[in-house]
Each structure stands twice: as C-alpha cells, then as structure tokens.
Amino acid sequence: MEVLRVEGLAKSFGGLQVLQELSFTVEAGAKLAIIGPNGAGKTTLFNVLSGQLPTTAGRIYFSGQEITRLPPHRRLHLGLARSFQINNLFLNLTLIDNMLLALQGAQHPHFQMFRSINAGTDLLAMAQNLLESMDLWEKRFDPVATLSYGEQRLLEIAFALASKPKLLLLDEPTAGLPTAEATAFANTIRNLVEDMTLVFCAHDMDLVFSLADRIMVLYFGQIITEGTCNEIQCDVRVQEIYLGSGRSSENVGSG
C-alpha cells in the first residue's frame, strides 16, 4: 500500500528549474534514500513534499489523498513529518519546552485556552519517553542553545518523531556530525524508525547503506535511477556522477 505518490512534480524559481517532472512512489514500511550531488534538488524536494514551498507543477498524494495544496500544518496531521538539514529549533526555550511544543502540535487541533498546562501530564510522560530514548532527559531544563550540536541534531529528529508520523522525511540527518557521532546517530535512528516509512537524503554513503532498502539518485532535479543498494552501487551512471564510486563520507561535488 503506497504511502506517498508523486506525479510530474516540478519546481522552478523564476527561470531556474530545480525539480523537473519527478514521479515516484513510496510503499509503506519502505526506507528510501535520496542521494545526489549538491544542488541536485534534494532539500527543495523535501520542502515541496512537506509544504514549505508550493509546487510549480505536478501533484502529491499521501495515502491516496491529494495534498498538493495543503499547508504544512495540515500535512503534519495527515501523518507527514520532517526534520530539517539545519537545526530549526526553539533556541531560547528549554529542551523540555521544545519537546512539549512538538508533542502538543501533533494533538488533534483545537484551542485549549483555559486548561492549565499541568492538565496535559500525558504530554510530559510522552516527552520523557522520547527524551530518555535519546539520553536527553537529564538536560531537559537546559536552554537548547546551550546543547551540543549533536544533541540539537537529535532533538531535531525527535521533533519529527513527536507526531508518530506515517511518513518521516529526514533531510540529511547526520549533517555536520563528526564520523564517530554520525555512526552512533545512525544506530539511534535505525532503532527509532523501524516500523515507519522513511524517506531521507544524505551524502554519507555509510548511513545510506545501513539505513535504506531502496535508493533514488537525483541529479539536476531529475531522477536518474532507482533501485536496491546493490543495484545502485553497480550502476555506471551513478559512478559517473560521483567523483569516485563507492567512497563513503567524502565530499561529493558535482560531476
């Protein structure tokens, strides 16, 4: 059963066409990695899928429902959540406040104006669960700005997980993390997303191979090819696009 279907998706900024007529589907439970050199359009694709940017053409279907024109907050409630490549948190607030905001947002929308915060103790329990699984619970009263980059990155992922989404979009989840931390991070993610449908993009090929069961290659806004890890590793076109094939964690520039 397909969770995401994209038909003829195009996005241009003025004269610059960043995404060119993309069409693909994602089945439930799949773990799809989108790879491609810088400027291939990966983040733009994520922005369009999650609703931060409007499409120029094409349609997006989520579990059969068309979401092309829906604003981001509506998409979240349908089950589509994303994390950002650059940490996009509430820096001045404490960790626990950040987490509560994320969890609260996923609740069925209605305005709770007169019930005091304490009435939502189940939110606190959920926050505790999530933060403990990431080893962040002790630091919950620290302002997020004081956390390390890696901890902030974890929180960024936690935000996306807060709504127990049907489809999780992770934009370069290990971006900026040193190699050792990135491996640990990848393990943490793998455990957390076991039952979810995941679409992520990354430059780190170790992460890609350890997490994904299918890979899609994007180049200048077009899908070059798609397949299993083995197929992609052996694909000549992919090797041409990247400087040197199969090397992991290296800076991959445009061919």
Partner 1 sequence: MGKANLAGSNRQPWQARLLSLAPYISIGLLLLVLPAFLRTYPLSILTKILIYAIFAMSLDLILGYTGLLSLGHAAFFGVAGYTYGILMVRYGIESFWLVTPLGILAGGIAAAVIGYISLRVSGVYFLLVTLAFGQLLSVAAVKWTSVTGGTNGLVGITDPHLGIPGFTWTNLNFYYLVFLAFVICFFLLRRITNSSFGRALVGIRENEPRMQSLGYNTWAHKYVAFIIAGLFAGVAGVLFASFYQLMAPTHLGIMTSSSVMLMVIIGGAGTLFGPAIGASFIILLERFASDMVSSARWPLILGVVFVICVLFLRGGFGSYLSRFWRRVKRRYGSTES
Residues near partner 1, by CB under 8 A: 50-52, 71-73, 76-77, 81-82, 88-94, 96-97, 100-102, 104-106, 109, 111-118, 120-121, 124, 141, 143, 159, 162-163
Nearer to partner 1, 35 or 83 (CB): 83
Choice between 121 and 251, CB closer to partner 1: 121
Query: Which residue, 20 or 52, has its beta carbon nearer to partner 1?
Result: 52
- Our CB check for partner 1 shows the closer of 90 and 209 to be 90
Nearer to partner 1, 137 or 209 (CB): 137
**Buried-exposed string 182-204: b where 16+ CB fall within 10 A, e elsewhere:** bbebbebbeebbeebbbbbbbbb
Are 182 and 207 within 8 A, CB to CB? yes
- Report the nearest approach of partner 1 to the CB of residue 240 (Å): 36
Residue 60 CB, nearest approach to partner 1 (Å): 15
SS3 of residue 230 by DSSP: helix
Our CB check for partner 1 shows the closer of 88 and 179 to be 88
CB of 25 to partner 1, least distance (A): 23
Neighbouring C-alpha atoms within 13 Å toward the C-beta of 204: 20
d(CA 130, CA 32): 24
Task: Give the separation between CA 200 and CA 168, rounded to whole angstroms.
Answer: 8
Place of tokens 């400027």: 39
Burial 13-45 (b: 16+ CB within 10 A, else e): eeeebbbbebebebeeebbbbbbbbeebbbbbb
* Bridge partners of residue 2, in order along the sequence: 27
Nearer to partner 1, 59 or 77 (CB): 77
**Closest distance between partner 1 and the C-beta of residue 217, in Å?**
26
Cβ(230)–Cβ(237) below 8 Å: no
Tokens 């041409």 -> residue: 240
CB of 238 to partner 1, least distance (A): 31
Provide the minimum distance between the beta carbon of 198 and partner 1 in the complex, in angstroms, as a whole number: 17
Listed in sequence order, the residues at least 6 apart from 222 whose beta carbon sits closer than 8 Å to its beta carbon are: 20, 21, 22
Q: CB of residue 105 vs partner 1: minimum separation in angstroms?
A: 4
